[in-house]
């Protein structure tokens, strides 16, 4: 495989398994410095060992972070930023599905925290390194979204879903947040060399279907024969993060599926993106203040 990514640094969250792992292995095989971030240290170490072995690239490293806990994201993000003053690509891929509503020790609903707020905070922490890459050649930030973003608009008065919680509903809303964050990130930092995008990987054969409650489990069972493998699911992420094709280089905050731009939900508006960014900034501000200490 062509070593076309030598000299570039990639950070991929949730990369110990699934499409994150497949993408990290691809980037390493092409010569990139690869940082994977995940919650489970042993699974992360196993993933690093496998990627190093399969790719022949020893420049693959693990940072442990629980993306449902902002304090954990700050600790790991600070360490990554100290070691990598320039980051060319950030793939915000970590995510979870929860059939029952759970609240973290920091007071956030678990799906909201793990799928949106943790990645949003990490992006803020790593902004200096992304902007450094943006100065020459450009940086990219890719968010793993989903067709599930169409399941319904955000309730900005109840982002923690304290009322009417359902696993698939919470997951779909978090994927809408990923789409909106990618759009607003480009609006705010595109002119400074950061290009962002979001994508739907397709119905991939992963364990996440069993964690979305009865409905999610049923969908997983009935749909399993028609689901795609992880390599196909990772294709658009890899393309958006590393391709030199103009459509990938200039993704410009848009949402993709199979390397194309499908229609998005009518409620996925610029206004919603701006409001989500502002609220998210307020929520992570105390943790960003801790970053300076």
Distances (CA, A) of 147 to 153, 167, 171, 203: 13, 15, 11, 9
Q: How far is Cα 159 from Cα 177, in angstroms, rounded to an integer?
A: 10
> By the 8 A CB rule, do 211 and 96 touch?
yes
Question: Is there a contact between 27 and 5 (Cβ–Cβ < 8 Å)?
Answer: yes
DSSP 88: S
The residues facing 255 across adjacent strands are: 198
Q: Tell me, yes or no, if 171 is annotated catalytic.
A: yes
Structure tokens at 93: 């891929």
Return the DSSP state at 260.
Answer: B
- Containing 118, the helix (H) or strand (E) segment is helix 118-135
Q: Which of 63, 84, 165, 171 is catalytic?
A: 171
Interior angle at CA 215, CA 211 and CA 220, nearest 5 = 65
Q: Please list, residue by residue across 97-123, b when 16 or more beta carbons sit within 10 angstroms of its beta carbon and e when fewer do.
A: bbbebeebeeebbbbbbbbbbbbbbbb
What residues are labeled active site?
Answer: 171
């Amino acid at each position: 495989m062509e070593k076309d990514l030598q000299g570039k640094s990639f950070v991929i969250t949730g990369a110990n398994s699934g499409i994150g792992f497949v993408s990290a292995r691809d980037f390493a095989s092409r010569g990139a410095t690869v940082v994977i971030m995940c919650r489970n240290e042993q699974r992360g170490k196993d993933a690093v060992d496998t990627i190093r072995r399969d790719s022949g690239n020893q420049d693959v490293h693990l940072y442990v972070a629980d993306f449902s806990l902002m304090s954990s994201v700050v600790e790991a993000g600070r360490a990554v930023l100290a070691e990598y003053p320039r980051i060319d690509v950030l793939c915000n891929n970590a995510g979870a599905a929860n059939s029952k509503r759970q609240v973290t020790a920091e007071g956030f609903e678990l799906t909201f925290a793990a799928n949106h707020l943790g990645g949003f905070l990490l992006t803020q922490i790593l902004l200096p390194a992304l902007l450094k890459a943006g100065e020459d050649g450009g940086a990219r930030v890719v968010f793993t979204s989903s067709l599930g973003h169409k399941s319904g608009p955000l309730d900005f008065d109840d982002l923690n879903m304290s009322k009417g919680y359902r696993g698939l509903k919470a997951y779909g809303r978090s994927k809408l947040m990923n789409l909106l964050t990618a759009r607003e990130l480009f609006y705010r930092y595109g002119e400074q060399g950061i290009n962002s995008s979001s994508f739907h990987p397709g119905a991939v054969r992963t364990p996440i279907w069993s964690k979305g409650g009865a409905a999610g489990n049923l969908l997983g069972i009935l749909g399993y024969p028609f689901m795609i493998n992880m390599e196909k699911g990772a294709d658009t992420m890899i393309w958006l993060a590393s391709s030199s094709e103009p459509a990938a280089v200039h993704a410009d905050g848009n949402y993709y599926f199979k390397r194309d731009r499908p229609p998005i939900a009518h409620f996925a508006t610029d206004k919603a993106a701006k409001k989500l960014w502002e609220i998210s900034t307020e929520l992570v501000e105390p943790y960003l203040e801790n970053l300076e200490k």
